[in-house]
Amino acid sequence: DTEVTQTPKHLVMGMTNKKSLKCEQHMGHRAMYWYKQKAKKPPELMFVYSYEKLSINESVPSRFSPECPNSSLLNLHLHALQPEDSALYLCASSQEGFNQPQHFGDGTRLSIL
Amino acid sequence: DQQVKQNSPSLSVQEGRISILNCDYTNSMFDYFLWYKKYPAEGPTFLISISSIKDKNEDGRFTVFLNKSAKHLSLHIVPSQPGDSAVYFCAAGNSGNTPLVFGKGTRLSVIA
């Protein structure tokens, strides 16, 4: 069982829809991450939150909007996505600092029609 | 520009034998290295890590070796088991402000 829970597991949406991906962890981790992974590629970092503040945005288009309501929750709000945004979206958490192992959820498989 | 390279996309090993997965990096600022295992339809699972002050770290059947001068690390699994069949990602970072960089992964198949 993963200690990082992501919902939903699968999401199909049209290009005009608005939806949100959710991530939750109860390990007391203060850093949380969103990654995007395409088939046969490594995870690509999108955002990093540290102590509930956005610390890194890897030049992600504004149609992706992260939110960290509290230390256990991380959301990714989606609006006006493109077909090329179809991918596996992974959430991870870790103790503070990049020299700590990150624990991943099982991801949300997103398909844009 | 790939900072972390896993040059073997796949590897097949007989059950009970040793599996050796390799990873090369180019950024000399990396001082922390990890291996993750990923099964289909699951997120990556952390396996083992090593900091640059060490050249070896062992955890059960898994050992990671780091050769800083060659900018090379390897993961040894011995003995290999069919349940080890998965994609293995190497990742590197540093204790400063640099997030983890992942390699492209190596698919390990352990044949019974």
Residue B58 to residue A87: CA distance in whole angstroms = 34
Give B51's contacts in chain A (Cβ within 8 Å).
99
Q: Is B106 on the interface with A (CB under 8 A)?
A: no
Give A105's contacts in chain B (Cβ within 8 Å).
43
Contact A42 B49 (CB under 8 A): no
Q: Is A107 helix (H, G, I), strand (E, B) or coil?
A: coil
Q: HSE on the CB side for A98, CA within 13 Å?
A: 21
Taking 70 as the threshold, does the pLDDT of residue B4 lie above it?
yes
Residue A107: what are its φ and ψ, rounded to 5°? 90, 165
**Which amino acid appears at position A40 of this protein?**
K
Length of chain B, in residues: 112
| Sheet bearing A4-7, strands edge to edge | A4-7, A18-25, A73-79, A64-70
Supply the DSSP symbol for B23.
Answer: E
Which residue in B34, B97, B98 is closest to A101 by CB distance?
Answer: B34
Residue A19 to residue A113: CA distance in whole angstroms = 14
Q: Which candidate in A23, A57, A99 is best for mutational testing of the B interface (most B CBs within 10 A)?
A: A99
Q: Is B25 on the interface with A (CB under 8 A)?
A: no
Mean pLDDT of B74-94: 96
Give B104's contacts in chain A (Cβ within 8 Å).
40-42
| A52-95 confidence digits (pLDDT tens) | 999 999 999 999 999 999 999 999 999 999 999 999 999 999 99
Question: What is the pLDDT confidence band of residue A99, given thresholds at 50, 70 and 90?
Answer: confident
| A7-46 confidence digits (pLDDT tens) | 999 999 998 889 999 999 999 999 999 999 998 889 999 9
Say what the pLDDT of residue B49 is.
95
Contact A98 B105 (CB under 8 A): no
| B17-71 confidence digits (pLDDT tens) | 999 999 999 999 999 999 999 998 889 999 999 999 999 999 999 999 999 999 9
What is the interface size between A and B, counted as CB pairs within 8 Å? 57
Chain A residues within 8 angstroms (CB to CB) of chain B: 2, 4, 6, 33, 40-43, 45, 48, 56, 90, 92, 97-99, 101-107
Cα-based distances in Å from B110 to A19, A42, A43, B13, B77: 40, 22, 24, 5, 11
Say what the pLDDT of residue B21 is.
98
Q: Are B76 and B62 in contact (CB under 8 A)?
A: yes
